[in-house]
A and B are shown apart, each in its own frame.
Chain A
């Protein structure tokens, strides 16, 4: 077989018969080319979307969730229904103790985030209203904060000393500072209180309610400034990677119900947003899409290869007489069979390689077009093993599908083939 395959004459014979009908060959090749093109483009694009979603979530721990207080819906332990709940700072330690799957708990408090008014911020004649967050340094373990060079996020010393320091957003910087001015080390006034800027955070999308103008100050400073005592607006929490975030969410709420003397069945006393669960759903969706694209792509390749088989069947039928002549001149059935199979595999491979190249160009173009951090489409690629797998599949299918016309070609007696007109 290998001798035939690497024989220059075999290829001369194959090119001869391919060139005999260029248009038919071209149309046949386009069938498979389209199949592999769809396969590469679809799977690459869905990988791009997959990567895009991962990037959207990369700023937050993928198994994180948020819990806040609402009001009760079931009377319990002497309290009537509709009691407003309030999370407290000591809930942090309590949750860490009661829910061992929790890795980090960050209490957060804010102004101007959920419908309330923001704080008035001024500097050198410029002013604006911005959302202010009171945070602990542990927050960055759950939702990372990119700080521009030269700055930093809130640290434990800021908390301990109730320092009047703040981290401002990119937009806050452009609105309050001159273009060439470095805000770090400078002061701004938040509700008439001077705060030293210690960093500027780089805003990145990724959903959530934060934006590029937010100002972060130490939690302890916030509570002193706004007299909020030990109140916490919500907890940002992260579970260990191995934990089931849905179960952790239930455990947290159950623990809070015990702590705050809420009916065990009262689902409305505490609200939550489970980013981990959402992430898993999105990931599941994009993985599903990826698998679907592979299946559709492979099915399209299959359809293309069947097309090649079909065309070869017609071609063999048209060439019955020619194959009869060849057999009269000494071609063995094996040689006739090999010629048709090699022709089938060759056409399939050429089509496949051109399809892969075209698909790669389209993916590169898509990657270039959607090069926007806000758009969930990053680095659309197809792993090389998938490409090799598809090529292998095509060679296999090309051989199998070529066997049908090849067998047909040798099943006719030479004399009958010669009589064919």
Chain B
């Protein structure tokens, strides 16, 4: 599903260049659930952004579902994002003047899905994250945890092949975190590939594979025995 070779990324900060990714190589097969771990500044979020086509790499190749990403223009990238990828951001990134339901409906709008179907599908996914009764509420009426659950519903609603999550449980209490991880595991069980950036060891253990980054390089890449979130919840 994902093939990355010799990926480099630097940021210009004033006159200095900050080399964030220093030749990353890794592949993700379809259906995997990968945790990207590392300390702050290790490059894990940058890697996730490049995988999500929200940012470009300086060099190296990235192939998503047999499509070389480097040659895609912004329009194709947008279509790919919409078709293949779902995002969960650390800071929720909900649109403030839209209700929870409208926020979840938005990716489907760009997929040209009809209004009625959009509403139905969005409702279904809101219910999946336990926010059915909150559909008509605006983000400022929701708690941090609820906002993140809306964001997860929004990422899932377009039924992406790959879901990219940047610290998805960072703003949630542990019980809710596990509930969400259970949702994510269920999604993964349906064949959706997941890449989750996290600081939390217990969350990482709920994935099938853990990749450790340090100073822009992968220092560890191991398959782990997945801990089911449902067992932890109980």
Residues on A lying within 8 angstroms of B by beta carbon are 8-9, 12-13, 16-17, 19-20, 321-322, 325-335, 410, 413-415, 418
Contact = CB atoms under 8 A, between A and B. Distances in A.
Interface of A is mostly: helix
B26 interface: no
B75 interface: yes
Contact of A333 (B75, B82, B110, B111): B75
- In the A-B complex, the 6 residue pairs with the smallest Cβ-Cβ separation, listed nearest first, are A330-B82, A330-B110, A415-B54, A332-B78, A415-B55, A20-B97
Contact of B106 (A17, A20, A326): A326
Given A321-B93, A418-B54, A328 B87 contact: yes
B29 interface: no
Contact of A334 (B52, B75, B158): B75
Given A331-B78, A331-B110, A418-B89, 5 more contacts: A17-B97, A326-B95, A330-B78, A330-B81, A331-B82
Nearest to B87: A328
A8 to B, nearest CB: 7
A19 B96 CA distance: 12
A2 B55 CA distance: 31
Interface in B43-68: 49, 52, 54-56
B154 interface: yes
Given A9-B115, A16-B97, A413-B55, A332 B75 contact: yes
Contact of A328 (B52, B74, B102, B115): B52
B228 interface: no
Interface residues of B, number: 28
Nearest to A333: B74
B98 interface: yes
Contact of B83 (A328, A330, A334): A330
Nearest to A328: B87
Contacts of A410: 74
Contacts of A332: 74-75, 78-79, 110
Nearest to B155: A329
B78 A327 contact: yes
Contacts of B106: 326, 329
B216 interface: no
Contact of A418 (B75, B81, B93, B102): B93
Interface in B124-170: 154, 158
Contacts of B81: 327-330
A172 B16 CA distance: 101
| Residue among A9, A13, A329, A335 with max Cβ neighbours from chain B (10 Å) | A329
A327 B115 CA distance: 20
A329 B154 CA distance: 9
15 contacts: A9-B109, A19-B97, A325-B94, A326-B106, A328-B93, A329-B82, A329-B110, A329-B158, A330-B78, A330-B81, A331-B78, A332-B79, A333-B75, A335-B78, A415-B54
A375 to B, nearest CB: 53
Nearest to B78: A332
A9 B117 CA distance: 13
A330 B49 contact: no
Interface string B68-91: 000000110011011100010100
A322 B98 CA distance: 11
Contacts of B54: 328, 413-415, 418
B78 A333 contact: yes
Contacts of A9: 109, 115
Nearest to B84: A330
Nearest to B98: A16
B38 interface: no
Contact of A13 (B49, B79, B107, B109): B109
A12 B158 CA distance: 19
Contacts of B107: 329-330
Contacts of B111: 330
A325 B75 contact: no
A330 B79 contact: yes
Nearest to B50: A415
B45 to A, nearest CB: 10
Contacts of A330: 78-79, 81-83, 107, 110-111, 158
Nearest to B86: A329
A322 B95 CA distance: 6
A327 B80 CA distance: 11
Contacts of A413: 54-56
A329 to B, nearest CB: 4
Contacts of A325: 93-95
A183 B78 CA distance: 91
Contacts of A418: 54, 89, 93
Nearest to A17: B97
A182 to B, nearest CB: 77
